[in-house]
Amino acid sequence: MGGKYRITGNTYPRMRRPRNRRKLVLSTAAAVVALGLAGWGTLQLIDVFTGGDKQANAADRPKACPSPSASTPAKALPKPAAIKVNIYNATPRSGLAKAAADELKKRGFAIGKVDNAPAAYDKKVPGTGMLLGGPTAMNGSFPVLATQLPGAAQKTDTRRTADVDLIIGTKFKTFSTPAAAASALTALTKPAPAPSSC
């Protein structure tokens, strides 16, 4: 060739496209990401089918079970002799308050007033009875007295004295047997066992 296209010297130009480095870098990065994802997916499948190392390690470790002594402490409830009970009859049956007072006295309770129920409760207690006392009685005297008369309603008032009222309701027939009451009282004072996860 002549003119301006004339080749001089002994070096000839290379007739190929220049390299595109950007494409090369992108394809390499894509290959690395694809290999990484394939490896991660393989590990996940292995974990699914073998149960994974965490579960195997958990199976090898002994479970930490609480000792039998680690339980809820026993409730400190008053003794029947420390509970002064006023007994009121809210039923049409006469002599019921006196008979109930005699029975509770035999069981160790201190007896206060024995009378007909006041007008606010007379013939208005539909269940077996109602326990009425100050706010502190809810966690003290009421649970102990309720062992003698299960199902009795419990209600607090504004009194500051420690005595409680037992208002006998229309469905009252008899107190629990001494054995059943003693068993219920023992269950109340026993410490509750701690829940076990073993």
CB-CB neighbours of 97 under 10 Å: 23
pLDDT (average), residues 11-36:
74
Lowest average pLDDT, out of 30-34, 83-87, 173-177, goes to: 30-34
Helix (H) or strand (E) holding 144: helix 141-146
> Mean pLDDT highest for which of 4-18, 57-71, 111-125?
111-125
Helix (H) or strand (E) holding 175: none
pTM of the model: 0.60
| pLDDT above 70: residue 55 | no
**Looking at per-residue confidence, does 54 or 16 come out higher?**
16
| pLDDT above 50: residue 89 | yes
Nearest one of 73, 80, 105, 84 to 182, comparing CA atoms = 80
| Cβ burial, residue 146 (10 Å; 0-12/13-18/19+) | buried
Report the pLDDT value the prediction gives residue 174, as an integer from 0 to 100. 93
Conformational region of residue 175, where left means phi above 0, alpha means psi within -120 to 50, and beta covers everything else: beta
In angstroms, the CA 84 to CA 133 distance is 11
Report the pLDDT value the prediction gives residue 70, as an integer from 0 to 100. 46
Nearest one of 44, 55, 108, 50 to 79, comparing CA atoms = 108
pLDDT (average), residues 91-116:
95
Inter-CA distances, 31 with 37, 38, 41, 177, Å: 10, 11, 15, 84
Lowest average pLDDT, out of 22-36, 149-163, 165-179, goes to: 22-36
DSSP state of 80: G
Q: What is the mean pLDDT of the chain?
A: 81
Report the pLDDT value the prediction gives residue 33, as an integer from 0 to 100. 84
Report the pLDDT value the prediction gives residue 86, as an integer from 0 to 100. 97
Report the pLDDT value the prediction gives residue 18, as an integer from 0 to 100. 58
| pLDDT above 90: residue 122 | yes
